[in-house]
Amino acid sequence: MEQKELRKKLLAEPKNGYDRLTKQDAEQMEAYCKDYMRFLDASKTERECVVSAIKLAEAKGFAAFDEQKHYHSGDKIYYNDREKGIILAVIGSESLASGAVIAGAHTDAPRLDLKPTPLYEDGEFAQFKTHYYGGIRKYQWLNVPLCLHGTIVRKDGTKLFLTIGDKPEDPQFIINDLLPHLGREQGKKPLNEAIIAENLNLLVGGRPLAEDDGKNRFKLEVLRLLNEQYGITEDDFISAELQAVPAMNAREIGVDRSFIAAYGQDDRVCAYAELAALLSLDTPRRTAVCIFSDKEEIGSEGVTGMQSACFDRFMGKLCKQQGVSLEDCYAHSFCLSADVTAAFDPNFAEVFDTHSCARCNHGIGLVKYTGAAGKSGASDASAEVVAMVRKAFDEKGVLWQIGEMGKADAGGGGTIAKFMARRNIDTIDAGVPVLGMHSPYETTAKLDGYMTYLGVRALFAL
């Protein structure tokens, strides 16, 4: 055999996706990414992701799940989990005894939550105290324009949906850092200790209540304005979920526009991909399910997290209609835990094993195992499952790669994979490589987002 042929036959030489992308895919990718960026701008909290998903799904003929109704193949339904998570499904032509194909992503993202009694004043500033959510690098959230998104539930149960900072005429918020001139001591501290959590306070006002000589005039002025505009009082913050999230909208990055930067792409880049894949289905052979789960960033805990029985109840109801046990359905199901992974960054090459890392523009990144320090906490997909997935991708022309998060012992992380595997569902992690993950403005490559959409579609056809 010629040396050249031998090389081609034996070596797995990774190639940049643009050297393999078809012209048709390149065009469709651009259209897909425009829609994706629109989704991001409208969906800066998990609750807003649910609203966006319902809007898109209803336009494609999906209807809210009705427990009294009997569903047939081709029916399209969604289950709204407390307005913070959503499960969507297209009923397959085969019974749930042959299992479902599930794609699960999470739509919560690192952010700064307001504390239950957030408003105080200090040094003639009114400020909101925050408690950060998820794994943030605190210094990254200073001097970034922030907006406020969330829900306030009044004592009588009525709800107020609040967003301040998105419209061009809206005010925004900021946490100021120290000036370099006075930052000598701060600059000597390790990055992770220089900014302390209790100093992540949002500047919300600096004008005192007029013609008043009592205490708390700055705080009162802010409350006066909030009451005037939203009818709320200080007590209403107690039963509220208000999040300070980056105000910047999604933008194309680079002269060649091949990247997208935006807040919350972990994991909305995968959530949007699986939603778009589900919405493109007619009647799949096996029931296709798409999950937007909440609370992944804090361990998939809580009633809306993937550890909750909400998913089991929904699947159980569908199974019961078909006379199939939930256990049998799960045993024959497959789950793609669609979550982002770290993209190789030449500026931080030291934390990556360059033989086994995911690269931007190489397609959807399969991750056989996550975890930290000896795969601890990983689901670790079986070789059989990996083989099935790579075959499905290759058959449908999906550009993909395999990689792990970073060097062994450099750190690590987890996903919802282990909670799906715990249900006796074969599960594998795969998703888009991200630069600057968990920062207020994360970067992904368009090609990888689009390939994740094609990848999920290929798996829904299994």
Which of the stretches 36-44, 147-155, 260-268, 372-380 binds Mn ion when contact is defined by CB under 5 A? Answer: 260-268
In the complex with Mn ion, the residue whose CB is nearer, 113 or 177, is: 113
- Closest contact distance (angstroms) between CB of 299 and Mn ion is 11
List the interface residues with Mn ion, window 72-111 (CB under 5 A). Answer: none
In the complex with Mn ion, the residue whose CB is nearer, 121 or 339, is: 339
In the complex with Mn ion, the residue whose CB is nearer, 75 or 267, is: 267
- Closest contact distance (angstroms) between CB of 134 and Mn ion is 6
- Closest contact distance (angstroms) between CB of 369 and Mn ion is 15
- Closest contact distance (angstroms) between CB of 48 and Mn ion is 17
- Closest contact distance (angstroms) between CB of 93 and Mn ion is 32
Residue 339 sits in the site that holds Mn ion (CB under 5 A)? yes
3-state per-residue secondary structure call for the chain: CCHHHHHHHHCCCCCCHHHCCCHHHHHHHHHHHHHHHHHHHHCCCHHHHHHHHHHHHHHCCCEECCCCCCCCCCCEEEEEECCCEEEEEECCCCCHHHCCEEEEEECCCCEEEEEEEEEEEECCEEEEEEEEECCCCHHHHCCCCEEEEEEEECCCCCEEEEEECCCCCCCCEECCCCCHHHCHHHHHCCHHHHCCHHHCEEEEECCCCCCCCCCCHHHHHHHHHHHHHHCCCHHHHCCEEEEEEECCCCEEECCCCCEEEECCHHHHHHHHHHHHHHHCCCCCCCCEEEEEECCHHHCCCCCCCCCCCHHHHHHHHHHHHCCCCHHHHHHCCEEEEECCEEECCHHHHHHCCCCCCECCCCCEEEECCCEECCCECCCCCCHHHHHHHHHHHHHCCCCEEECCCCCCCCCEECCCHHHHHCCCCEEEEEECEEECCCCCCEEEEHHHHHHHHHHHHHHHCC
Angle between helices 23-42 and 46-59 (to 10 degrees): 130
Burial class (CB in 10 A: 0-12, 13-18, 19+), 149: buried
- Closest contact distance (angstroms) between CB of 457 and Mn ion is 21
Which of the stretches 49-57, 151-159, 228-236, 333-341 binds Mn ion when contact is defined by CB under 5 A? Answer: 333-341
- Closest contact distance (angstroms) between CB of 135 and Mn ion is 7
Residue from 221, 267, 429, 448 touching Mn ion (CB under 5 A): that is: 267
In the complex with Mn ion, the residue whose CB is nearer, 267 or 274, is: 267
- Residue bearing tokens 């290929």: 458
List the interface residues with Mn ion, window 39-58 (CB under 5 A). Answer: none
Which of the stretches 78-86, 161-169, 261-269, 311-319 binds Mn ion when contact is defined by CB under 5 A? Answer: 261-269
Which of the stretches 153-161, 202-210, 229-237, 263-271 binds Mn ion when contact is defined by CB under 5 A? Answer: 263-271
- Closest contact distance (angstroms) between CB of 245 and Mn ion is 15
In the complex with Mn ion, the residue whose CB is nearer, 119 or 417, is: 417
Which of the stretches 39-47, 259-267, 329-337, 417-425 binds Mn ion when contact is defined by CB under 5 A? Answer: 259-267
Determine the residue with CB nearest Mn ion. 267
Which of the stretches 121-129, 160-168, 267-275, 389-397 binds Mn ion when contact is defined by CB under 5 A? Answer: 267-275
In the complex with Mn ion, the residue whose CB is nearer, 266 or 448, is: 266
Residue from 75, 266, 429, 448 touching Mn ion (CB under 5 A): that is: 266
In the complex with Mn ion, the residue whose CB is nearer, 244 or 437, is: 437
Which of the stretches 58-66, 188-196, 262-270, 379-387 binds Mn ion when contact is defined by CB under 5 A? Answer: 262-270
In the complex with Mn ion, the residue whose CB is nearer, 300 or 333, is: 300
Residue 274 sits in the site that holds Mn ion (CB under 5 A)? no
Residue 429 sits in the site that holds Mn ion (CB under 5 A)? no
The amino acid occupying position 380 is D
| 108: its two tokens | 């919560």
- Closest contact distance (angstroms) between CB of 380 and Mn ion is 18
Angle between helices 265-279 and 446-460 (to 10 degrees): 40
CA angle 72, 73, 75 (to 5 degrees): 75
Compute how many residues bind Mn ion; rule: CB under 5 A. Answer: 3
- Closest contact distance (angstroms) between CB of 147 and Mn ion is 21
- Closest contact distance (angstroms) between CB of 415 and Mn ion is 6
Contacts with Mn ion, residue ranges (CB under 5 A): 266-267, 339
